[in-house]
Amino acid sequence: MSAVALDVEAVRTRFSALRAPTAFFDGPGGTQVPDSVTDAIAGYLRESNANLGGAFGTSRRSDALVTQARLTAAAFLRCEPDEAIFGANMTTLNFMLSRTVGRTLRAGDEILVTKLDHDGNVSPWLELAHDLDLKVGFVDIHDDTTLDHDDLERKLTDRTRIVAFPLASNAVGTLTDAGRIVELAHDAGALAWADAVHYAPHGPIDAADLGVDVLVCSPYKFFGPHLGVAYGRAELLESWRPYKVRPAGMEPVGHRFETGTLPHELLAGFVAAVEYVESIGWRGIRAHERALGQQFLDGLPSGCTLHGLPAMDGRVPTFAFTVEGRSPRAVSEHLGEREIATWDGNYYAVEVMERLGLGAEGAVRVGFVHYNTPGEVDRLLAALAEL
């Protein structure tokens, strides 16, 4: 398989789920998994199922798996293995980590979030503000859904402690300029707190290069099981007092923020998912996805209104649109009857939908990943043309 030209049919043979007639454009809500991930999960449960720290074989194999999962997270996020944290999902991890950093905050401190964010990087801060008498500000977006950096600069003060932002919008696909956001946050003395959930299946993540202090993502969005993975800068994690049962170990430092027994079988699936992505390569994935996105944009029927950037520059291949005279739900039902899986609603991106004037009904969302084909995009466009 070439590093650039993706053999999508060869890719699809690795997914039993893709033998179904459904065109899966629901990836922003969770991707399908390759058979290697399924096998890894089942293999762990068959051969190594045990808790950690025991003086017997299955426990020792489980110990080794957790170590391998940390090494895998370090390779995927470009961080140190000790800086990796596992949890149930991104939102649960974010609530836990926000409560932890809350121990360092005082009444009147400020947190900034953006109107591009998934609510998993908004509500944890709103709830923390409720408990601790903090202030939460919302950084606006332009009409084209790009982040308003001038508004961010205006809202930063000497009381700003956290700047929370997404690498990519899960609703409209817009990328953010993470480097600029991190620089502005750090110049103001604030932590940069990144949601990488939606970006993770579309390109490589380098936490160290981004300069973020905390980064959270979910493997079930990049061909893995339902799980959460976070990065925290070691010096920062070492400075926080964790919520932890007393007998639990405090090393490695990321383990301090893992409450209870980890889902070891899902860690096995996570390792397999990252190995799968590495076997394909980001260059081929990105080139193929860009071509699919351009095909969709070029063929979108005139009765459909796209909400977001009109070209592939500055975005991932996730698109929100509405169809004249039809509710988003009706459009998704029409597509579902034709074995085309899409989402409708606000997809927990409450602020961007309100900002675009789409309200609770939201929009139809289609998201392409590398296992989608040009033929499937043609099916989608033909089904929309029927409307």
Domain ranges of the chain: 8-32+281-385, 39-277
Q: pLDDT (tens digit, 9 = 90+) per residue, 188-225? A: 999 999 999 999 999 999 999 999 999 999 999 999 99
Average pLDDT on 313-328 reads: 97
Categorise residue 34: left if φ over 0, alpha if ψ from -120 to 50, beta otherwise: beta
Chain centroid offset of residue 340 CA: 22
Question: If we measure between CA atoms, which residue out of 167, 277, 271 comes closest to residue 225?
Answer: 271
pTM value?
0.96
Share of the chain above pLDDT 70, in %: 99
The CA radius of gyration of the chain, in Å to the nearest whole number, is: 21
Alpha helices (H) in 114-177, listed in sequence order: 123-132, 149-155
Are 351 and 171 in contact by the 8 Å Cβ rule? The answer is no
How many whole angstroms separate alpha carbon 334 and alpha carbon 168?
28
Sequence-separated (6 or more) residues with CB below 8 Å from residue 123: none
Options 3.40.630.40, 3.10.310.10, 3.40.50.970, 3.90.1150.10; CATH for 8-32+281-385 is 3.90.1150.10
Q: What token pair was written down for 92?
A: 């649960």
Residue 4 pLDDT level (bands cut at 50, 70, 90): low
How many whole angstroms separate alpha carbon 72 and alpha carbon 108?
39
Alpha helices (H) in 156-281, listed in sequence order: 178-187, 207-210, 234-239, 264-280
Query: SS3 of 289, please?
Result: helix
Q: What token pair was written down for 271?
A: 């390792």
Are 307 and 358 in contact by the 8 Å Cβ rule? The answer is yes
Q: What are phi and psi of 36, to 5 degrees?
A: -60, -30
Average pLDDT on 120-129 reads: 98
Average pLDDT on 246-272 reads: 92
Q: What token pair was written down for 360?
A: 């609770």
Share of the chain above pLDDT 90, in %: 96
Q: What is the pLDDT of residue 3?
A: 47
DSSP string across 203-235: S---HHHHT-SEEEE-GGGTTS-S-EEEEE-HH
How many whole angstroms separate alpha carbon 339 and alpha carbon 116?
30
Q: pLDDT (tens digit, 9 = 90+) per residue, 138-161? A: 999 999 999 999 999 999 999 999
Q: Which residue has the tokens 């696909």?
A: 173
Instruction: Provide CATH code, domain 39-277.
Output: 3.40.640.10
How many whole angstroms separate alpha carbon 198 and alpha carbon 178?
14
The chain-wide mean pLDDT, for the chain, equals: 96
Q: What are phi and psi of 384, to 5 degrees?
A: -70, -35
CA 323, 326, 332, 337: dihedral to nearest 10 degrees?
-120
Q: What angle do the packed helices 57-77 and 264-280 form, to 10 degrees?
A: 40
Residue 182 pLDDT level (bands cut at 50, 70, 90): very high
* Integer CA distances (angstroms), 165 to 287, 320, 351, in order: 26, 20, 13
How many whole angstroms separate alpha carbon 43 and alpha carbon 50?
13
Q: What token pair was written down for 45?
A: 């449960």
Q: What are phi and psi of 369, to 5 degrees?
A: -125, 180
